Structure 1
């Protein structure tokens, strides 16, 4: 599938980039160096080369219909504020899992709630998904709050993760 851009009003969702016009790599390295990110996100992006690989992987996942992933950008400056996506896409079953992270400077401002809401609407309306899950560490209270604010309902735990779900009929 071709990447889709979404204007949420307050944020611009676009594909991650590393080209002559927009280079998200330095912002990715800085974001992944944050201790809170390192605690809750399993990826290691600690060099510009690793960030370039990360951007390429996300583009490949779009092309293979495995994941829709958006850079969360400030609409006037293009500054990278985080990433949101629908991973583990299964068009046959109509399911996916939402994932989101935001930079330290963007935390506590409602960014994650706004973009998760937009991506969930995209998943249900444009992709025809029937269920979207959201999983996070039990210690990640911000993610728990995002799930609640976006209408997800608790669906138990799976190993080290708390799971939430939202169906198209609930949205």
Structure 2
């Protein structure tokens, strides 16, 4: 996670879990299926009936992040009832 700018992975994961419970931020890890290696993070932060989508990939893994945009936006809209714009911010929250 340090390659994504996260200094304390344990704190980030704990915070992400709490935010899921409180429905204030939804974060997904994008990993290599065969190794479990973290290559990107993507998330949605609700703001009323809309949501801000954001994400960041390690160098060389932008394609994996781009592939996650569709499924994450469909989840945000279908399961959470949020309107999510097609664009997203390349950062992590």
Displacement of 1:121 in angstroms is: 0.8
Structure 1 segments, 4+ long, off by >4 Å, are none
Q: Of the candidates 30, 35, 48, which is equivalent to residue 77 of structure 1? A: 35
Which structure's relative contact order is higher, taking Cα pairs within 8 Å and 6+ residues apart?
A: 2
Asked if residue 53 in structure 1 is aligned to residue 11 in structure 2, the reply is yes
Q: Distance in 1 between matches of 2:68 and 2:19?
A: 19
Conserved? CA contact 1:31–1:104, under 8 Å: no
CA displacement, residues 13-68 of structure 1 (integer Å, 9 cap, x when unaligned): xxxxxxxxxxxxxxx02332xxxxxxxxxxxx33xxx2211111111111100011
Q: What TM-score comes out, normalization by structure 1 length?
A: 0.47
| TM-score computed with the length of structure 2 as normaliser | 0.81
Q: Cα gap change, 1:106/1:135 in structure 2, threshold over 3 Å: closer, same or farther?
A: closer
- Count of matched residue positions in the alignment of Structure 1 and Structure 2: 89
Tell me the residue number matched to 2:61.
Answer: 106
Structure 1 unaligned blocks of 5 or more: 1-27, 33-44, 137-142, 144-171
> Residues 8-47 of structure 1: matches in 2 within 5 Å?
28-32=1-5, 45-46=6-7
1:124 to 77, 85, 88: 77
Pairwise CA RMSD: 1.8
Q: Higher Cα Rg: structure 1 or 2?
A: 1
The offset of 1:135, in angstroms, is 5.1
Contact 2:55 2:88 in 1 (8 A): no
